[in-house]
């Protein structure tokens, strides 16, 4: 008995549509778990709707706001809604449906990403085993990594990222299975519009195209359709760099591809002509599509670690982004298939699948990029999820071939599929990811919106840049898409112990950013200058500042305490030499044990309350001061400061209202963020408090 020979199933078109709808409904329903979990949790709601749970989503939502609500007219970095498919469809659905912008942005990821069930099922139908694809669609549509990046509220281009390549794969497989030029045309059209949907994934579909070319040249080199297919698919990328991204240009590109298809599909060429035309097309694909440099740059950017080595030495942001760091095998396994056993089954299944159905070689880039996540980071696992699901379920089909009775066979496959799905469902239930901001923080930004104009700037860490656009309609100088060298500027402002330097640097940075036509500030300020000399000069009250053209606000949220040491890394470096300054000490403890004699803060840090000595691992150090800061009934901050040892370097700050201890050295204690947020101490000649919420504080620059 040939175990690899799977009997074909007689599934009608009507039944096919039923299976697709059922799989789609399952995918969408599972994503509703998060909604039900927080349906009655008021802090996650705004404007009558749950808020989104990804920072980058606010960039695209702000672009939609510009069209729908006339906001952000003075924001130089606002995302053009016509440039990105996510913005285009958001505006379209908000205008054509009764749903609000908040509802569309919340649910669109689930609506779009669940479409992945269609190519998964259609791929299996190409080989006459439709139920294989149905079972795989149930798994692939909700597996760990795919769910994480496409859940309800994860409003980002990732909703298209792994879904669209599966359509490309389907058309490629259909093309080589039945060897029709029409399937190559559909693949080309999908590749052509892919950058509009998910520009960051061009390297993926281009790699798939290269594998497709090699495959048909090796296995079908004598057939005319091989070279015609190469010509049609190559056209999908040639014009891309020449046109401004918009849906209208993608329509024009698609029409060009269709026109060439009809010109060559029935025309008889001599082989020499086909060789020349296809060679020219491939060269155009490689050159205009910038394939090699695109793939190389993507790979090198995610493998890059460390500090800039040329010019000024800025700290690189990739070091602090978890999804860009190397991951262990178990993490990769969980993200792709839900468990280590699951991914092993999937990898074995893929090998068996290729042995049985050779066209699945075309899925190699998707599996490959999933494995690359071991070095490149979490975000790459998502591409491997659908093909891993197909591979695992196919292996179950092969094993089930040992069972003769049909009902037992499909029962066996269903049970194994359920076992693969189970750890992913458990993950989804436990994956109670919060919204980006809570409602109280949003209220702060709404108040800021009321007192500011759309030309004003709000300075804070880049994580909060896009939400600040959306809720306060003010501008930022760093955000989720502009967070390289200028992180140094904001880090310095937040960490300096000189209020004068912070104020001067704030005004200088904003006015320089505006007057330089929104170029990178750090490169502009420090060009041909010694950065250390300029930073020292900024500490002087006599520093000559540019003319004030707009207001500047500092946004200091409580949540920044969780990442404040990371924020400090970017400014804690000598730009001339690249030498890092001594890392200041900062420890946040919101889980601690007080037995009356000592306080155990965790991580080997304990305070002896009788001797006022702090144990840090094996070392003991005296305390400089013990500070208690908390809000009274009128929400005014009250402070008690107990001076202990003037020669010590470590202080303990108990933020009573937050039930949180901060253990910090003098550099951290005197930093602008700690002084102005935790202690509400500020230079009244330089700053004016305008919003004093326990969740976030906003100061207005007076100079």
Give pLDDT tens digits for 216-241. Answer: 999 999 899 999 999 999 998 865 54
More confident site: 207 or 295: 207
519: pLDDT strictly greater than 80: yes
**Which of 112-116, 576-580, 594-598 is least confident?**
576-580
Q: What is the pLDDT of residue 375?
A: 83
How much is the average pLDDT of 547-568?
97
More confident site: 231 or 529: 231
Give pLDDT tens digits for 633-654. Answer: 888 999 999 999 999 999 999 9
Q: What is the pLDDT of residue 578?
A: 86
How much is the average pLDDT of 182-197?
94
304: pLDDT strictly greater than 90: no
**Which of 37-41, 150-154, 294-298, 661-665 is least confident?**
294-298
pLDDT bin (cut points 50, 70, 90) of residue 295 is: low
619-631 and 650-655 as β-strands: parallel, antiparallel, unpaired?
Answer: parallel
- What percent of the chain lies above the pLDDT cut of 90? 80
How far lies 232's CA from each of 207, 289, 296, 558, in Å? 16, 14, 25, 55
More confident site: 49 or 284: 49
Give pLDDT tens digits for 118-128. Answer: 999 999 999 99
Q: Nearest-CA neighbor of 71 among 472, 400, 499?
A: 472
501: pLDDT strictly greater than 90: yes
Q: What is the pLDDT of residue 285?
A: 84
Q: Nearest-CA neighbor of 47 among 505, 344, 421, 445?
A: 445
How much is the average pLDDT of 351-366?
96
End-to-end CA distance of the chain, in Å? Answer: 84
Q: What is the pLDDT of residue 529?
A: 85
For the beta sheet containing 696-701, the strands, ordered from the edge strand earlier in sequence to the opposite edge, are 457-459, 552-557, 696-701, 687-692
Most distant CA pair in the chain, distance: 95
Structural domain spans, the chain: 13-430, 439-569
268: pLDDT strictly greater than 70: yes
Give pLDDT tens digits for 474-496. Answer: 999 999 999 889 999 999 999 99
Under 8 Å between Cβ of 305 and 318: yes
How much is the average pLDDT of 267-282?
92
49: pLDDT strictly greater than 80: yes
How far lies 518's CA from each of 63, 237, 309, 380, 521, in Å? 18, 31, 25, 32, 8
Question: Quick one: tokens of 290?
Answer: 């910038």
Chain mean pLDDT for the chain: 92
155: pLDDT strictly greater than 80: yes
d(CA 163, CA 502): 46
Topology (CATH) of 439-569: Pyruvate Kinase; Chain: A, domain 1 (3.40.1380)
Q: What is the pLDDT of residue 178?
A: 87
pLDDT bin (cut points 50, 70, 90) of residue 321 is: low
Q: What is the pLDDT of residue 313?
A: 77
333: pLDDT strictly greater than 90: yes
Q: What φ, ψ does residue 627 adopt, rounded to 5°?
A: -120, 135
Burial 299-337 (b: 16+ CB within 10 A, else e): eeebeeeeeeeeebbbbbbbebeeebeebeeebbbbbbb
243: pLDDT strictly greater than 60: no
187: pLDDT strictly greater than 90: yes
Give pLDDT tens digits for 334-346. Answer: 999 999 999 999 9
Burial of 595 (0-12, 13-18, 19+ CB in 10 A): exposed
- Identify any residues that bridge with 584 across adjacent strands, giving them in sequence order: none
Q: What is the pLDDT of residue 377?
A: 80
Q: What is the pLDDT of residue 291?
A: 62
More confident site: 84 or 417: 417
Q: What is the pLDDT of residue 306?
A: 52
- Identify any residues that bridge with 608 across adjacent strands, giving them in sequence order: 598, 613
Q: What is the pLDDT of residue 248?
A: 77
Q: What is the pLDDT of residue 286?
A: 82
How much is the average pLDDT of 650-661?
97
Q: What is the pLDDT of residue 136?
A: 98
């Amino acid at each position: 008995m040939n175990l690899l020979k799977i009997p074909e199933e007689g599934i009608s078109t009507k039944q096919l549509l039923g299976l697709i709808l059922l799989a789609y409904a399952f995918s969408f329903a599972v994503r509703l778990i998060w909604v039900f979990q927080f349906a009655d949790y008021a802090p996650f709601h705004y404007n009558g709707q749950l808020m989104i749970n990804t920072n980058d989503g606010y960039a695209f939502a702000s672009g939609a706001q510009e069209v729908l609500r006339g906001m952000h007219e003075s924001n130089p970095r606002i995302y053009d809604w016509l440039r990105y498919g996510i913005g285009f469809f958001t505006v379209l659905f908000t205008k054509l449906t009764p749903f609000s912008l908040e509802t569309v942005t919340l649910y669109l990821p689930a609506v779009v990403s669940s479409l992945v069930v269609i190519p998964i099922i259609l791929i299996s139908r190409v080989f006459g085993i439709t139920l294989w694809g149905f079972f795989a669609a149930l798994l692939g549509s909700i597996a760990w990594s795919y769910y994480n990046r496409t859940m309800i509220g994860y409003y980002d281009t990732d909703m298209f990222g792994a879904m669209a390549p599966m359509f490309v794969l389907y058309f490629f497989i259909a093309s080589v299975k039945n060897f029709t030029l029409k399937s190559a045309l559909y693949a080309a059209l999908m590749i052509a519009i892919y950058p509009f949907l998910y520009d960051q994934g061009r390297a993926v579909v281009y790699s798939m195209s290269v594998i497709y070319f090699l495959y048909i040249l090796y296995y079908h080199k004598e057939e005319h359709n091989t070279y015609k297919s190469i010509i049609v698919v190559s056209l999908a990328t040639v014009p891309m760099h020449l046109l401004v991204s918009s849906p209208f240009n993608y329509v024009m590109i698609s029409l060009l591809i269709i026109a060439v298809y009809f010109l060559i599909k029935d025309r008889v060429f001599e082989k020499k002509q086909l060789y020349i035309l296809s060679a020219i097309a491939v060269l155009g694909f490689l050159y205009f599509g910038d394939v090699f440099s695109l793939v190389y740059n993507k790979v090198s950017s995610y493998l890059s670690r460390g500090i800039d080595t040329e010019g000024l030495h800025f700290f690189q942001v990739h070091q602090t982004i978890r999804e860009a760091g190397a991951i262990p095998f178990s993490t990769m396994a969980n993200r792709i298939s839900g468990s280590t056993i699951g991914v092993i089954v999937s990898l074995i299944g893929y090998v068996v699948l290729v042995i049985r159905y050779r066209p699945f070689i075309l899925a190699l880039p998707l599996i490959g990029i999933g494995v690359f996540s071991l070095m490149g980071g979490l975000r790459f696992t998502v591409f491997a999820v659908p093909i891993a699901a197909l591979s695992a379920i196919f292996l179950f089909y092969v094993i089930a071939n040992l069972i003769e009775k049909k009902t037992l066979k499909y029962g066996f496959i269903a049970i194994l599929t359920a076992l693969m799905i189970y750890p992913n469902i458990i993950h989804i239930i436990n994956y109670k990811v919060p919204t980006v901001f809570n409602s109280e923080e949003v209220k702060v930004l709404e108040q800021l919106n009321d007192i500011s104009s759309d030309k004003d700037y709000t300075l804070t860490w880049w994580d909060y840049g896009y939400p600040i656009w959306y809720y306060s309609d003010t501008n930022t100088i760093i955000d989720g898409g502009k967070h390289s060298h200028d992180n140094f500027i904001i880090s310095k402002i937040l960490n300096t112990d000189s209020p004068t330097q912070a104020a001067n640097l704030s005004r200088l940075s904003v006015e320089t950013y505006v007057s330089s036509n929104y170029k990178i500030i750090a490169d502009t300020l420090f060009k041909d200058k010694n950065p250390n000399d300029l930073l020292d000069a900024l500490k002087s009250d006599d520093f000559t500042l540019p003319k004030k053209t707009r207001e500047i606000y500092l946004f200091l949220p409580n949540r920044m305490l969780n990442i404040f040491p990371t924020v400090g890394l970017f400014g804690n470096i000598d730009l001339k030499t690249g030498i890092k300054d001594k890392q200041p000490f900062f420890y946040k403890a919101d889980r601690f044990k007080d037995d009356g004699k000592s306080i155990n803060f965790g991580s080997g840090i304990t305070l002896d309350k009788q001797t006022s000595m702090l144990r840090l691992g094996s070392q003991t150090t005296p305390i400089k001061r013990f500070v208690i800061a908390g809000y009274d009934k009128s929400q005014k901050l009250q402070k008690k400061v107990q001076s202990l040892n003037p020669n010590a370097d470590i202080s303990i700050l108990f933020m009573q209202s937050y039930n949180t201890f901060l253990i910090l050295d003098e550099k951290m204690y005197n930093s602008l963020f700690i002084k102005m947020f935790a202690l509400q101490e500020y230079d009244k000649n330089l700053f004016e408090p305008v919003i004093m919420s326990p969740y976030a504080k906003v100061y207005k620059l007076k100079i």
